[in-house]
């Protein structure tokens, strides 16, 4: 059964929507984020991990504007850890964001400035408010593509460096068939 979500079809039709910027990340571009280096080295570096369709109506850094994006995260694991997005804080610390689930199953992993990490289940229709100062990353815990939408301020910016250097304080891994933070 196909559920048609207008915003999703806007991003997926042949034109991909006017003004939509598509970006993609391969496993090779996610080097260092997974714990199990042996398992990672067995996987092809050019395998697609996720794609992001972004609608950026304002110039980056414009205060007061809103950006919209849809991420399609493919299913898979590296050892017992699920495929996941790179994850980031916002450059402007106090900028918030909404994520909401469109299709598939996953978990939104969140970490505050004190490095407390928690997770929220993502599913079609789930809504997630990410307050400023909270790093965010999504893992696909299912067997099909996980799609979610995001809306964030056009002056938020992405700070990948801290997560690339220090990671989150917990990892989402599969234990006895279910996702657990470790
Ligand atoms: O703005 C966001 O938070 C999202 O659109 C993400 O950029 C997207 O999900 C990809 O994740 P990341 O930017 O952490 O690679
Ligand atoms: Ni963000």
pTM, two decimals, is 0.93
- State in Å: Cα 95 to ligand 2 middle: 9
User: Cβ(88) to ligand 1 under 6 A?
Assistant: yes
Largest interatomic CA distance in the chain:
46
Q: Which atom of ligand 1 is nearest to the CA of 54?
A: 5
Tens of pLDDT along the chain (182 residues) come to: 444 455 566 556 544 556 778 899 999 999 999 999 999 999 999 999 999 988 888 999 999 999 999 999 999 999 999 999 999 999 999 999 999 999 999 999 999 999 999 999 999 999 999 999 999 999 999 999 999 999 999 999 999 999 999 999 999 999 999 999 99
ipTM, two decimals:
0.99
Give whole-number Cα distances, 181 to 77, 84, 153, 178, in Å: 15, 13, 29, 10
User: Cβ(154) to ligand 1 under 6 A?
Assistant: no
Q: Which of 7, 11, 71 to mutate to test the pocket of ligand 1 (most atoms within 8 A of CB)?
A: 71
């Amino acid at each position: 059964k196909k559920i048609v979500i207008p915003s999703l079809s806007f991003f997926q039709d042949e034109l991909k929507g006017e003004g939509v910027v598509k970006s993609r990340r391969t496993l090779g571009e996610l080097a260092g984020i997974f714990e199990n280096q042996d398992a990672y080295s067995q996987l092809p570096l050019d395998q697609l991990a996720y794609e992001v369709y972004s609608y950026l109506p304002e110039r980056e850094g414009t205060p007061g504007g809103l950006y919209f994006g849809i991420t399609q995260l493919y299913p898979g694991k590296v050892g017992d850890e699920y495929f996941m997005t790179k994850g980031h804080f916002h450059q402007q610390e106090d900028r918030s964001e909404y994520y909401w689930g469109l299709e598939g199953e996953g978990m939104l992993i969140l970490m505050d400035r004190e490095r407390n990490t928690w997770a929220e289940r993502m599913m079609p229709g789930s809504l997630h408010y990410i307050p400023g100062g909270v790093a965010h990353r999504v893992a696909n815990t299912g067997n099909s593509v996980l799609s979610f939408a995001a809306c964030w301020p056009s002056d938020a910016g992405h700070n990948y460096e801290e997560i690339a250097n220090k990671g989150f304080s917990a990892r989402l891994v599969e234990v006895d068939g279910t996702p657990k933070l470790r």
